[in-house]
Chains A and B, each alone.
Chain A
Amino acid sequence: MILKIKVNGKLRKVDAHPMARLLDVLREDLALTGTKEGCGEGECGACSVMLDGALVNSCLVPAIQADGATVKTIEGLASDGRLHRLQEEFMKCGGAQCGICTPGMIMASASLLAKKKRPNEAEIREGLAGNLCRCTGYAKIFESVRSAR
């Protein structure tokens, strides 16, 4: 099918199988490799993107359900050549180590801050509960979000 998606502000048309994963459409057809694949089964959050403004696991979204939708990936977070505040804070606080979970962590954090300007500790932990990190032990990730709020 010809899929029409608005990705990071630009309308894109992609010839994709309706059951292809949004994750693969983004990475392989649109060359947006910032979105990572971790588990491929909705457990780890590495593939988190915003779909019509809501955080989703792009590995669990079949292309047919993204037709006509608006998608924002990690590549769409910076604007006018300036990093998003969360990206700055993840760098400053050491919130990123190997980097595989980082795009998903930042998208989940951005989704949280869009709903709640000043989330408390419990809300930050809940907002990031679907995102796994095997390097940082999470403390510096939480610190990054705290300093970005």
Chain B
Amino acid sequence: MRAYLPDYQARSAKDLKDALKVLSGEPGLWKPLAGATDLMVLFAAGKLPRGRYLNIRGLKELRGIGVTKDFVSLGALTTYTEIRGHSVLMKEFPNLCAAARETGAIAIQNRGTIGGNIANASPAADSPPALLVYDAEIELVSSKGARWVPYAGFHLAYKKMVMRPDELIRAVRLPRRAEKFAHFYRKIGTRRAQAISKVCFSGKARLEKNGRRFLDARIAVGSVAPIPLRCLRTEAAIVSRDLDARVIANARKIFLQEISPIDDIRSTRDYRAAVAGNVFEQFIQETAGL
């Protein structure tokens, strides 16, 4: 059943300062409302916690994509539509653009925001695995000041984050790298649009000059663990080794130990494990040109 409107209060923040004042004045009582594409789904189902919602969607301080020599910075309210069409992101961070293209469909992409996707903390979200392989950093602001935290380590456990209730995400920044990587992103859902992932895989890798070994590789996955997961042990199992059948089979085994898929309404543990393993091998084959 849909939520009962009088259970909710909402107001719009005038600017960032006003928003932070409201959040620090009554910490935990107010929840930020950005693109609303997740909260309104809960609302429709009668599952949105009753209480106070602070509309931050109009805050100019949280908008826009900026490019400097060292970073590409995305304001927390940057939409998927803005991400998927950005020329520098497309060139240097293609997995993030692929994630944006495959999130929902056009109408969702016009409303949903990168900051909202992070703070909503769904393990099935599509952009976090891309952010993880690109070493994203998150800027958190409160009325006490601002701090940068690495995105790796931002999610502590299912829906638990390092962010405090008086903080907002102001921006996400991606360090620009000179080295040339091959990028790979694949989302598996029930259909190509509008589906929530059963497995979501983001990887990048760099081959040695004459090509049989990875110099460097990054792997992160969604929907197969309680949080978006960077797979460090799997990476170590494929870097600086001849990519023969034995090494790949062993790395697949380690990968499957590192993830922890479950049965839920969208898929089963066995299906997710089988598909994740296959996509992992596809990643190696495509980025190594096997």
Contact = CB atoms under 8 A, between A and B. Distances in A.
Interface in A74-112: 108, 111-112
B40 A59 contact: yes
Contact of B193 (A18, A67, A129): A129
B126 to A, nearest CB: 15
A45 B8 CA distance: 25
A43 interface: yes
B81 A60 contact: no
Interface residues of A, number: 30
A34 interface: no
Interface residues of B, number: 31
A73 interface: no
A147 to B, nearest CB: 21
A48 B110 CA distance: 12
Contact of A40 (B44, B105, B108, B193): B44
Contact of B8 (A19, A42, A61, A129): A19
A121 interface: no
Interface of B is mostly: mixed
A61 B40 contact: yes
Contacts of A45: 105, 107
B57 A42 contact: no
Nearest to B110: A54
Given A19-B43, A42-B40, A65-B55, A60 B111 contact: yes
Nearest to A127: B106
A140 B5 CA distance: 40
Contacts of A127: 106
A65 B11 CA distance: 10
Interface string B1-32: 01101101111100000000000000000000
B36 A62 contact: yes
A41 B41 CA distance: 5
A145 interface: no
A130 B193 contact: yes
B113 to A, nearest CB: 12
Nearest to A132: B194
A62 B40 contact: yes
Contact of B45 (A41, A60, A108): A41
Nearest to B33: A62
Contacts of B107: 42, 45, 48, 55-57, 108, 130
A17 interface: yes
Nearest to B57: A65
Contacts of B9: 18
B111 A61 contact: yes
A130 B102 CA distance: 11
A126 B8 CA distance: 35
- Among B2, B41, B57, chain A packs the most CB atoms within 10 A around the CB of B41
Interface in B79-103: 81
Contact of B194 (A19, A21, A65, A129): A129
Interface of B: 2-3, 5-6, 8-12, 33, 36-37, 40-41, 43-45, 53, 55, 57, 81, 104-108, 110-111, 192-194
9 nearest A-B residue pairs (beta carbon): A130-B105, A129-B193, A18-B10, A60-B40, A54-B110, A19-B8, A129-B105, A40-B44, A17-B5
